[in-house]
Amino acid sequence: MTPVIVPPKGGRPRPGIAQLKRTLYFLSRNTLAIIGLAIVLFFVVVALFSLFSPLSNQSLQQYCSVTYGTNGTVGCQPVCTYDASSGPAPAANCYPTYSGNVGFVGPTVDLTHLTGGPLPLGSMQVSSGTNQYYYSIYDGLLKGSAWSLGIAATIVLSGASIGLVLGAIAGYRGGYTDEVIMRFTDIFLSIPGILLVLVIVASFAGYVQGLEGRMLLLVGAFIITWWPFYTRIVRGQVLVTREQKYVEASRASGAGTGRILTKHIIPNSLYPVFVQLSLDVGAIPLLLGGLIFLGFQIYPSPYFPEWGAMSANSVANLQSLIESCQFGACVFPWWQILFPGLTVFLFAISVNFLSDGLRDALDPRLRR
Amino acid sequence: MRMWVYVVRRILLLFPVIIGVMTITFAILSALPIQTHLIATFGASKIPYTPMVPCSDVGQPGNGQCRNPTYFQLVHQLGLDQPIWVQWAEYMKNSLTLNWGTVNYHSNAASAFSLTTSIPVTTVLGWYLPYTLELAALSLIIILAVALPLGNYSAVYRNRPIDQAARVMSFSGFALPGFLLATLVLFAAVILSGGATPTCNSNSTHYFDWYGSWPPFPQCANQPTWIGTYIQTSPTGFPTIDAILHGDWFLAGESVRRMLLPALVIAYGSVAGILRFVRNSMLEVLNLDFIRTARAKGVPETAVVSRHAGRNSLNVTVTVLGLTFAGFIGGFPIIEDVFYLHGVGLLLAKSIQPTQDFGLIFGTTLLFTIIVVVANILVDILYAYLDPRVRLG
């Protein structure tokens, strides 16, 4: 009969809990990491909230020009705008535009009713071919939070899972298995990352229709470029972990490969993965924005609500405005640049702070 | 293991990787519908590129559909009717012999750079790569000038205000979208330098002071003969060096000045990684025994930091710099797009957009891959040379 060890009440907690407590303690000492954590949590809450907001009932095609009726209904007619210099408002629910440009409705500080009234963060203009769409930046950012976080989390978690499995096998088995897996990884690592995404998306985007197909293609292309980094990180860590005494002890007491891998090797190789993972989540909206900025139609529609895309669209508008600016008329719709850009920036930098704090808290050598 | 055995082994291992990369590009290429290849090579056509076209032959066997002779002829011309392994072998042979095809004058890239005739892909890459190399070198110099002193300070004054400030500064550079910063910087530069005021004639404004790799020659001055039709320079191909060789100091300065803003934006965006490496390797070295010995024997603190620790922490930094530079050669599509610099990044970005130029896309991919792989080996060898404790194997 094996004796059951019951920890005394109020005594030492289990080692796993103790380590978690220690990590959280070191994390809480780091001000920047706490700020980062707070901002990330805020965005997660916003994303969850947006899933239940009335906007989520709108299909993406209808998203083009969301309007709010006086009785709280969400309509889909173009926002009614008028040129303030040429006369008074034609109707009650119309917004004055900026410099006579039909899409430019400035932000307002009147936050009395965020869901029906003046556009709280101003309007955003997107042109697709001959049509011009304009919608509320507030709505776009709200709805975009779910998309941005969802896409980033899917890519990073899938990449990390693949990398974790392959890296653990390669590092633990060694020999030919290691050689084959790592050469395969090297091949994918050698192709400049974003290039592979571009080539895959650009080559197949024309042949995949529909929202689901496009999203699958985009996420798949990113996962293909993303997993090798994790494989290499995990393998390096496993090579260190597998030589530890506790692994040897486990093997001596008769544990099989599967048990050693899942109970000892993988849990103890996880921390660099966490750090890299939290770092990469912030980079993905930036990358997506970059792709949109270069003119790749990675989304089914040009007015797709995703943070990176919104930021890139606003800046692309600005670029055409600079070109018009050289002949005199300079228009600077600062709110179109500021709000999406600030969102992407805040998300990326807070995730960076968090990851930096995690690195310090999880790596005992850096705690000193 | 002896050094040369290690080097030979690494070089031999290079071939499977390069062949693997080429196989992946080949797989992507051959997964595309045949029609895409035909449109990309021969341009859009009024007759659809389908095996069967409608005709008046109603009845047996086609029932209004006839074989399209053009389609089969063009498919045969491209070799797409061959078995897949024959196509693969052909692709490999062409890739390894640098026969990467010609620029497609139907493509977006050709029209963006007004390449009107079919020019070999390798030639075009040879024109644009030097521009990117100069930009990468300038960015790296700026990064080094910032990251080395700042990283060492951050390590010495760990978790003090200067360390935190450096961290916030470098992270914000990483988190700010490159396209946003670059466009705002360009906007600010245009307005600060005079906005819409004409510079040399009524059609040229200060916008063109910052836009493009060279001044707009047709409006302002005659284009010098050492700059060719497609903005390629001779004899070396490097714009600044060529300008100096021809004694044209104004254009040499102009070339550097036009690269300065993009280089600053790039440096700001990627200083975070190198700064972190400098700081961490410095931290590690500062905790070693010989530093304590140096302090104990009375070496002044500045000398300890700069001479004893600084030198030794450089090993890691050198290797990271090598890899960063290799990554930089991959071009900066976004930055080059905003400032319209004639680099490979912009070339690639244009060639991926429809109508695609497959020759350019896969030529560039191969080039970048080879550069990254070779840089990896060079960095490993350099690291082993710099730090004799490194175990080769």
Q: A195 vs B348: CB contact, 8 Å cut-off?
A: yes
CB A57 within 8 A of CB A72: no
Cα–Cα distance list, A360 to A22, A81, A363, B100, B156 (Å): 12, 52, 6, 48, 17
Task: Tell me the average pLDDT across B133-138.
Answer: 93
Give yes or no for residue B134 having a pLDDT over 90.
yes
Task: Tell me the average pLDDT across B109-129.
Answer: 85
Q: Where are the alpha helices (DSSP H) in chain B?
A: 3-31, 34-42, 69-78, 84-96, 108-112, 121-156, 161-175, 178-192, 207-210, 217-220, 239-245, 249-286, 289-296, 301-303, 310-329, 333-339, 344-352, 358-386
Q: A326 vs B207: CB contact, 8 Å cut-off?
A: yes
The answer regarding whether domain B127-392 maps to CATH 1.10.3720.10 reads yes
Give yes or no for residue B305 having a pLDDT over 60.
yes
Which of A71-75, A276-280, B101-105, B179-183 is least confident? A71-75
Measured distance CA(B79)–CA(B59) in Å, rounded: 32
CB A170 within 8 A of CB A235: yes
B366: pLDDT confidence band, cut at 50, 70 and 90? Answer: confident
CB A199 within 8 A of CB A230: no
Give yes or no for residue A351 having a pLDDT over 80.
yes
Within chain A, how many helices (H) and strands (E) appear? Answer: 12, 7
Q: Considering chain B, what percentage of its residues have pLDDT values greater than 90?
A: 18
- Is A289 in CB contact (< 8 Å) with chain B? yes
CA-based nearest residue in chain B for residue A314 = B180
User: What is the nearest CA distance from B376 to chain A, expressed in angstroms?
Assistant: 9
CA-based nearest residue in chain B for residue A339 = B180
CA-based nearest residue in chain A for residue B376 = A190
Q: What is the pLDDT of residues B249-279, one digit of tens each?
A: 988 998 999 999 999 999 999 898 888 888 8
Q: What is the pLDDT of residues B147-166, one digit of tens each?
A: 999 998 898 888 889 988 99
> Which is more confident, A327 or B286?
B286
Q: Where in chain B are the domains?
A: 3-121, 127-392
- ipTM (interface pTM): 0.84
Task: Tell me the average pLDDT across B344-355.
Answer: 82
Gyration radius from chain A CA atoms: 25
Q: A199 vs B25: CB contact, 8 Å cut-off?
A: yes
Q: What is the pLDDT of residues A90-113, one digit of tens each?
A: 666 566 666 556 566 777 666 554
- Is B333 in CB contact (< 8 Å) with chain A? yes
Domains, chain A, with CATH or none:
65-139+313-331 (no CATH), 145-309+345-366 (1.10.3720.10)
Quick one: pLDDT at residue A69?
43
- Provide the whole-model pTM: 0.85
B201: pLDDT confidence band, cut at 50, 70 and 90? Answer: low
Range among A27-31, A301-305, B100-104, B185-189 with highest mean pLDDT value: B185-189
